[in-house]
Structure 1
Amino acid sequence: MTIKYTKDHEWVRVEGDVGTVGVSDHAQHQLGDVVFVELPDVGRALQQGKEAAVVESVKAASDVYAPVSGEVVEVNHELENEPARVNTGAETDGWFFKLRLTNPAELDGLMDEAAYKAFVEGQA
């Protein structure tokens, strides 16, 4: 299992050829209380770096970008009824969608956990 992060604060946890995608704990802290999540449709083809979902908080609405390219194979319907899961478990049960990777080499351009922590601390 590999976990990688983007500069836009998404994470992808890869198991085999499927990646589970969500926003980082840092991102949910920045957002504040999440009140709505718009998820992509299953079967949708996503391109790395392009809008995949929307998360709305009491502060603002933000796009969630695909950290890697792939086809959406599952979405977390729990978030539609309970968007606060993004706040309580951003990197666990607050995941947004799963996709089948079409170009696993894209993972090489993402940060590992140590690099992401250093990136976030550098922004502070």
Structure 2
Amino acid sequence: MSEALDNEQPVNLDVPEHLEYSEEHAWVDRSVDPAIIGITAYAAEQLGELVFVDMPEVGTRVEAGDEIVELESSKAVQPLIAPVAGTIKYVNRDVADDPSVVNGDPYGEGWIVKIELDDDEPELLDAEEYARIAH
């Protein structure tokens, strides 16, 4: 009986295959330089409509596990935990001006920061592994 529960997939969970994920519901696209970080559709759905995003300063150095952004919605205030270590190169000013962009397009226009990665290999999940924990 537990096997049936383990195989249940969340309804309409968007988990793009080409990205990597953290258990804290952040995604990373390391196929581009600098790498792009955002929050998953699951995280955006759980938070509800974002009303404020407190962006870091460009040039800020972060370690994996650091709080890099504070996301505020009508439901909660939640930190975005850095899934990787590196230096913030860009912040998404569109999201700072209109946080609802994240809710509408978390894997596209709603990216949060671009980061120059350190050389270490972060422990990230692939889409299939992330889909199992995101429900």
TM-score (norm 1): 0.90
Counterparts of 2:32 and 2:120, CA distance in 1: 10
Matched, 1:119 2:133: yes
Q: Greater helix percent: which structure?
A: 1
Match of 1:41 among 49, 57, 65: 57
Matched, 1:73 2:89: yes
Q: Greater strand percent: which structure?
A: 1
Equivalences for residues 1-124 of structure 1 within 5 A:
2-106=18-122, 109-120=123-134, 124=135
Give the AA of the match of 2:20: K
Give the AA of the match of 2:99: P
Deviation at 1:118, TM superposition (A): 1.2
Find the residue that maps to 1:118 and give its secondary structure. helix
Query: Does the Cα contact within 8 Å between 1:40 and 1:75 map onto a contact in 2?
Result: yes
Give the AA of the match of 1:12: V
TM-score (norm 2): 0.83
Find the residue that maps to 2:121 and give its secondary structure. helix
CA pair 87-16 structure 1, distance change in 2 beyond 3 A: closer
Query: Does the Cα contact within 8 Å between 1:48 and 1:66 map onto a contact in 2?
Result: yes
Counterparts of 1:87 and 1:119, CA distance in 2: 20
Give the AA of the match of 2:40: S
RMSD: 1.5
Counterparts of 1:112 and 1:104, CA distance in 2: 17
Could you tell which deviates more after superposition, 95-104 or 50-59? 95-104
Query: Does the Cα contact within 8 Å between 1:68 and 1:103 map onto a contact in 2?
Result: no
Counterparts of 1:86 and 1:20, CA distance in 2: 14
Counterparts of 2:22 and 2:121, CA distance in 1: 14
Gaps of 5+ in 2: 1-17
What is the percent sequence identity of the aligned residues?
Answer: 32
